[in-house]
Amino acid sequence: MSADWTGSTFGERLRAAMDAYGPLCAGIDPHRALVESWGLGYDVAGLTAFTEACVEAFGGHVGVVKPQSAFFEVFGSRGVAVLEEAVVALRERGTLVVLDAKRGDIGSTMAAYAEAYLGKDAVAPADALTTSPYLGFESLRPALDLAAERGRGMFVLGLTSNPEGRTVQHARLREVSVAEAMVLGATAENAGAREQGRLGSVGLVVGATVGSAVQELGLDLAGANAPLLAPGIGAQGGTAEDLRRVFGDALPNVLPSSSREVLSAGPDVAALRDRARRVSENLAAVLR
């Protein structure tokens, strides 16, 4: 079931997908309130119907889709099975999948997480995985190496918009902040791709609503040559002007993520697809 992507990098496929379909990363977030707002029961049957509608609406029409693993895991193995089926179906339709699982650990445990989501024997391998580097950027090494080997990508939490994030990410380690250390780690991983004129495959998660924090912390996001996953657009308050202010020269590499704004158009598949198209077109105008 696992495709061999060793002939291309995630960064190359992501750039091509953004050029073809626009910059939107459409989230699949089946949390209780949203599922019930569609008139569905908050159970495995409702989860399945919700997810299948999203796959039908987005697959082959949106460049990148980001399922939030937690909302599937809450239903145990049956929910994970629904997630696996969605990942396979989206990738069969030519849509890139970023699995939002935010895994992070050390040694053999991190290696096992990497194999589970990115490895050649994974049941439903994603194109990229979100990861947490707060055991140290190098703690992600097993996943970084496996992703590179398999032509897949990672998005490392860099600068998040939740208020609690400041206590860790803004803290300083000698001359640099913790957030800058993560940016520098991604920059080093993407150096080879930069030399070849390609977008790197080790991305960063930077909230669209972090305000002036990027400038205050001196983060060189453009220099990182990293895909920049930007959650917070739409229902979470992020605007086009926020994208300009936060990302500046790095705008061409930004992958804005919108979940609730798009998903509120459901459960009608055509309405979901149309909402995603319009959001992507609006974002493309900003990022250009």
| Choice among 31, 102, 141, 194 that is catalytic | 102
3-state secondary structure the chain: CCCCCCCCCHHHHHHHHHHHHCCCEEEECCCHHHHHHCCCCCCHHHHHHHHHHHHHHHCCCCCEEEEECHHHHCCHHHHHHHHHHHHHHHHHCCCEEEEEEEECCCHHHHHHHHHHHHCCCCCCCCCEEEECCCCCHHHHHHHHHHHHHHCCEEEEEEECCCHHHHHHHCCEECCEEHHHHHHHHHHHHCHHHHHCCCCCCEEEEECCCCCCHHHHCCCCCCCCCCCEEEECECCCCECHHHHHHHHHHHHHHEEEEECHHHHCCCCCHHHHHHHHHHHHHHHHHHHC
What pLDDT is stored for residue 236 in this prediction? 64
Question: Is pLDDT above 90 for 86?
Answer: yes
What pLDDT is stored for residue 3 in this prediction? 43
Q: Are strands 128-131 and 25-28 parallel, antiparallel or unpaired?
A: unpaired
Q: Tell me if residue 32 falls in helix, strand or coil.
A: helix
What pLDDT is stored for residue 16 in this prediction? 96
Query: How far is it, in rounded angstroms, from Cα 32 to Cα 7?
Result: 40
What pLDDT is stored for residue 112 in this prediction? 98
What pLDDT is stored for residue 7 in this prediction? 61
CATH number for the region 115-257 comes to: 3.20.20.70
Residue 195 C-alpha from the chain's centroid = 24
Question: Is pLDDT above 80 for 274?
Answer: yes
Domain with CATH 3.20.20.70 in the chain: 20-103+259-288, 115-257
Q: Tell me the pTM.
A: 0.94
Mean local confidence (pLDDT), 247-255: 95
Q: Return the structure tokens found at 28.
A: 């699949």
% pLDDT > 90, the chain: 88
Question: Is pLDDT above 80 for 238?
Answer: no
% pLDDT > 70, the chain: 96
Span 11-66, pLDDT tens digits: 999 999 999 999 999 999 999 999 999 999 999 999 999 999 999 999 999 999 99
Mean local confidence (pLDDT), 249-266: 94
Average pLDDT score over the chain: 94
What pLDDT is stored for residue 239 in this prediction? 76
Is residue 6 very low, low, confident or very high in pLDDT (cuts 50, 70, 90)?
A: very low
Could you tell me the fold of the domain covering 20-103+259-288? TIM Barrel (3.20.20)
Mean local confidence (pLDDT), 189-214: 96
The residues with which 183 forms a beta bridge, in sequence order, are none
Residue 102 appears among annotated catalytic residues = yes
DSSP string, 223-261: TTT--EEEE-BSTTSB-HHHHHHHHGGGGGGEEEEESHH
Span 107-144, pLDDT tens digits: 999 999 999 999 999 999 999 999 999 999 999 999 99
Query: How far is it, in rounded angstroms, from Cα 108 to Cα 89?
Result: 30
Span 167-180, pLDDT tens digits: 999 999 888 999 99
41 and 163 in contact (C-beta within 8 Å)? no
Question: Is pLDDT above 60 for 1?
Answer: no
The alpha-helical segments, DSSP class H, found in 134-225 are 141-150, 166-169, 178-189, 191-195, 213-216
Question: Is pLDDT above 50 for 102?
Answer: yes
Mean local confidence (pLDDT), 233-254: 84
What pLDDT is stored for residue 129 in this prediction? 98
Question: Is pLDDT above 60 for 5?
Answer: no
